[in-house]
Amino acid sequence: MTDPSTPERRPPSDHTSLKVSEWVSRWSHLVAAGSAVLDLACGSGRHTRWFHDRGCTVTAVDRDAAALEGLRDVARTVVADLEGQPWPLPGETFSAVVVTNYLWRALLPDIARSVGDSGLLIYETFAQGNASVGKPCNPDFLLRCGELLHFAAKHGLRVVAYEDGFSSQPDRFIQRLVAVRPSARTTAVERHPLRPVNPPRAS
């Protein structure tokens, strides 16, 4: 177990695992082929490649220029220090925005604004309690109880799915959300099909 008192900087968004987040894969059916996707703090690009392979046009943003170099064949890449520089995509909106293992609260309004009309936000990162099992343990990088729900409500996003709790392999406390921006162009009720974690097997 990591000592919670150990000084800590924001963890890098390296995402060195090649395995796609189960949360992202579970909700990818809501992102149609051809969609413009923003993979924010993309690290090595596991989700950039995932959505590219599903026929999407991906913009990959990270501070690690070397990691982005390996994504130039599958995405538009943007090198940006997300904490030390202005928002790198002013005025741009996307059909889907994906954020995993990353939290910088000052960016939350920009993230919300980047979700386009009828667009989707898939967000998953560490939450309070994680200090009991390892890093990150600095509260600056851990979501407070219900924080993503409050964020979605504040910025006019409709929550489709939400989880907040403990997950193993590896042990971590996480909070995750899927939310949509209601269409401003129609009053029709939009349907966002739910997908079970383990679909029943055919008998």
pLDDT class of 128 with cuts at 50, 70, 90: confident
Domain ranges within the chain, ordered by starting residue: 22-180
- Is the separation of the CB atoms in 89 and 107 below 8 Å? no
CA-to-CA distance for 47 and 40, rounded, in angstroms? Answer: 10
At a CB cut-off of 8 Å and minimum separation 6, what does 82 contact? 40, 41, 61, 63, 88, 104, 107
Per-position DSSP letters for 139-201, written without gaps between them:
GGGSBPTTHHHHHHHHTTPEEEEEEEEEETTTTEEEEEEEEE---SS--SPP------SSPPP
pLDDT tens, residue by residue, 160-184: 999 999 998 889 999 999 999 998 7
The CATH number, out of the four listed (3.40.1390.40, 3.30.1740.10, 3.40.50.150, 3.40.10.10), of the domain defined by the range 22-180: 3.40.50.150
- Please state the pTM of the whole predicted model: 0.85
Beta strands, E only, 42-171: 57-62, 76-79, 94-100, 115-126, 158-167
CA-to-CA distance for 75 and 107, rounded, in angstroms? Answer: 22
Other CB atoms within a 10 A radius of the CB of residue 48 amount to 30
- Is the separation of the CB atoms in 137 and 166 below 8 Å? no
- Among 55-64, 92-101, 128-137, 159-168, the range scoring the smallest mean pLDDT is 128-137
